[in-house]
Amino acid sequence: MRKWIFFVLTGMLGIVVSSCSSDNGGSSIIYPKEPPRDRLYDSSIINDEAKWGMMNVHDPSIFKDGEWYYIFSTDVKVGGMPRAGIQVRKSKDLIHWQWVGYALDGVPEEAEKWTGATNLWAPDVTKIGDTYYLYYVASTFGKNQSFIGVATSKSIEGPWEDKGAVLKSRQGDEWNALDPNIVYDADGNIWMDFGSFFGGIYIIQLDPKTGKPLEGARPKLIARRGGQDAIEGPYIIYNKQQKKYYLFTSFDSLMYDYNVRVARSDRIDGPYADYNGNLMTDTSLNAGTKILNSYQFEGSNGWVATGHNSVLQDGNDYYIIHHARGDQDTNWPYLHVRKILWSDDGWPMVSPERYAGEFEQQLNREDVIGDWQIIELDKDDNSQLTSTTITLLKNGKIDKGNGKDYWEFSGKNNVKLYFYDPDHALKGAYRIETAKVIPAWDWENWRPTLVFTGFDQNGTAVWGKRIKP
């Protein structure tokens, strides 16, 4: 009777239990339930917004309101002119998304006059008191005659009342009024980070009475790249456990090689430094710890231009929300949600597979034995990265050819891979990849599996997916 109740409950929660045998009795791994299948490159639904689901999502910003998760995103439409007004979707599980509509009826008059924009970009939503604030951008591609505006509502689904400009920039200004993100600091003060490769990423404190900059406040630079190298889409979160602020930004082309990087600080207004201590304002360095990149697992199609993220903290769980383009036709942007795990030294690690309901749980050493596809997210290579295959053997060796490679398992779900590589190891003779393992859904092979995510001692992110026990 108890077993029957257990399986009923797990079915209701959208999970699948698999018992894995081992010399030590094995463990019961709870895998996510089969998610809805992708409908990629489906031109038959171009004009049917109710069927878009994760399609036509660009620059997604997430906000949780009660039991619903809401995504607000840029006005885009594959194969036609988009309607202006900020697209809105909602979900109860971060997996099944339904169309809500448009937040605004076109480009507000003041924003259109300032920029000539025909659609709206990069929204972000927050709540101040009992009022919702929707921030939006009007601009034109490649220019920094830009406009950040705000609208308010007593309901997350509107109607929204436009409140005009928050920040404007002119062509030739050092900074760009683009990509706003609203964040509360540890003391409850409200800030807005924003900007792009026109001058870099800035932050300014807001007045909680208006949702606009405090009187006398000036933008402060917190991240910049050299020359016209692209940096945009900033998003800051505060992790109470780490007592640090984390700045996520997207580098390079939104069509081809978008990639997400992170840095952290003790203060919301910086300085922000990456895994290796490089400051995000040092334009002589390729700073920022890469945690998300275009990728392809061997034997399957992949994704490119994975970027412009937001981050959701939901209780003790964290998720990164971003868009990606299918590598068979990069004109099509889609919504991706991925679970974030945290390294023991306090860095966010992104799952190599999209979220399907998985969670961290106790695993055994024997669970991870088998063949794995791994991808190393080289910070100097932003092209689509492909996987290689290794085998984690029962005797603790890694079958990779030279006999000196080995692996270890410890704690709840930690794995360490030791690759003999004296030419590239930071210290000693081994390149050491430290990662956490979690059950997931294998979207490429359409089955449950295990994945890992972590870093090596050089700060290079590493992904793994088990393809055979």
Assess contact for 14 and 93: CB atoms under 8 A.
yes
CA–CA gap between residue 378 and residue 360 (Å, rounded) = 26
Active site residue 34: no
Q: Print the SS3 string covering 93-127.
A: CCCCCEEEEECCCCCCHHHHHHHCCCCCEEEEEEE
Q: Are 120 and 178 in contact (CB under 8 A)?
A: no
| 419 within 8 A of 433, measured Cβ to Cβ | yes
d(CA 85, CA 66): 24
* H or E stretch covering 329: none
Cis status of the peptide bond prior to 271, with omega within 30 of 0? yes
Nearest-angstrom CA–CA distance, 247 and 293:
17
Active-site hit among 75, 193, 232, 353: 232
Active-site pick, 49, 59, 193, 252: 59
State the Cα torsion 278-282-286-291 to the nearest 10°: 50
Report residue 236: phi and psi, to 5°. -115, 135
Q: CB within 8 A of 432, min separation 6: which ones?
A: 416, 417, 418, 419, 425, 456, 457
CA 33 from chain center: how many Å? Answer: 22
Q: What are the residues whose beta carbons fall under 8 Å from the beta carbon of 257, sequence distance 6 or more? A: 294, 304, 305, 382, 383
Query: d(Cα 91, Cα 97) in Å, to the nearest integer?
Result: 5
- Report helix, strand or coil for 392: strand
CA 200, CA 280: separation in Å to the nearest integer? Answer: 10
Rounded distance between C-alpha atoms, residue 122 and residue 234, angstroms: 10
Instruction: Report the DSSP beta bridge partners of residue 450.
Output: 439
Indicate if 367 belongs to the active site. Answer: no
Measured distance CA(225)–CA(263) in Å, rounded: 14
Q: How many CB atoms lie within 10 A of CB 328?
A: 11
* Close Cβ partners of 249 (under 8 Å, ≥ 6 residues apart): 201, 223, 231, 232, 233, 234, 235, 260, 261, 262, 280, 288
Point out the residues that are catalytic.
59, 232
